[in-house]
Structure 1
Amino acid sequence: MKYMDNKFSVLMTVYKMEKPEYLNQSLSSIEEQTLLPQEIVLVEDGPLTDELERVIEIHKRQFKNKFKIIKSNVNRGRGLASRLGLKYISTDWVARVDSDDICYKNRFKLQLEALEKNHNIKMIGGQITEFQDMPQNITGKREVPLSFKEIEKFARYRSPINNPTLMFNKKALDLIGGYPMLNVLEDYDLCIRFLVNNLEIINLPYNLVNMRVNKQMYKRRGGVKYLCQYILMKWKWYKMGIGNIKSLVLSDVLMTGNIILPVNIRRLVYSLFLRKRQK
Structure 2
Amino acid sequence: MSRNNSEFSVLMTIYEKEKAEYLDRALESLENQTVLPAQIVIVKDGLLNESLDTVIEIHAKKFSNIYTVISLKRNYGRGYASKVGIDHISSRWFARMDSDDVSSKDRFELQIAAIKKYIKVYPKLAVVGGQISEFMNNENNTVGYRKVPQEPEQIKEFAAYRSPINNPTAMINKEALLAVGNYSELNVLEDYDLWVRFLSNGYTLINIPNILVNMRVGNGMYKRRGGIRYLNTYIQQKRIWKKQGIGTNKTVIFSSIVMMGSILVPTFVRKNLYQKILHKRKWERK
TM-score per shorter chain, which class? Answer: over 0.9
Is there any run of 5+ residues in structure 2 with no aligned partner, and where? none
Secondary structure, counterpart of 1:207 in structure 2: strand
Q: Which amino acid aligns with 2:211?
A: N
The Cα RMSD (Å) is 1.3
Secondary structure, counterpart of 2:273 in structure 1: helix
Aligned residue in 1 for 2:12:
12
Aligned residue in 1 for 2:230:
226
Q: Which amino acid aligns with 2:38?
A: Q
**CA shift digits 1:18-77 (9 cap, x unpaired):** 111000000000000001000011001111111111111111122121111100010111
Shift of 1:146: 0.2
Secondary structure, counterpart of 1:95 in structure 2: strand
User: Is the contact between residue 168 and residue 213 of structure 2 (CA under 8 Å) also seen in structure 1?
Assistant: yes
Secondary structure, counterpart of 1:161 in structure 2: coil
Is there any run of 5+ residues in structure 1 with no aligned partner, and where? none
1:96 aligns with 2:86: no
- Which residue of the other structure, out of 260, 270, 274, is the alignment partner of 1:266? 270
User: Is the contact between residue 42 and residue 85 of structure 1 (CA under 8 Å) also seen in structure 2?
Assistant: yes
User: Is the contact between residue 13 and residue 43 of structure 1 (CA under 8 Å) also seen in structure 2?
Assistant: yes
Aligned residue in 2 for 1:211:
215
Count how many residue pairs are aligned between Structure 1 and Structure 2: 277
Moved over 2 A (4+): 3-6
Q: Which amino acid aligns with 2:279?
A: R
1:35 aligns with 2:35: yes
Cα 1:183/1:92, change in 2 over 3 Å? same
Equivalents in 2 of 1:218, 1:107: separation in Å? 26
Aligned residue in 1 for 2:87:
87
User: Is the contact between residue 4 and residue 37 of structure 2 (CA under 8 Å) also seen in structure 1?
Assistant: no
Secondary structure, counterpart of 2:43 in structure 1: strand
Shift of 1:5: 5.5
Equivalents in 1 of 2:246, 2:79: separation in Å? 22
Aligned residue in 1 for 2:281:
277
The alignment's TM-score, normalised by the length of structure 1, stands at 0.97
Aligned residue in 2 for 1:239:
243
Q: Which amino acid aligns with 1:51?
A: S
Equivalents in 1 of 2:116, 2:245: separation in Å? 30
Equivalents in 2 of 1:278, 1:248: separation in Å? 29
Shift of 1:118: 2.0
**Percentage identity across aligned positions?**
49
Q: Which amino acid aligns with 1:63?
A: F
Q: Which amino acid aligns with 2:11?
A: L
**CA shift digits 1:80-115 (9 cap, x unpaired):** 111111111111101000000000001000000011
Shift of 1:278: 3.4
Shift of 1:13: 0.7
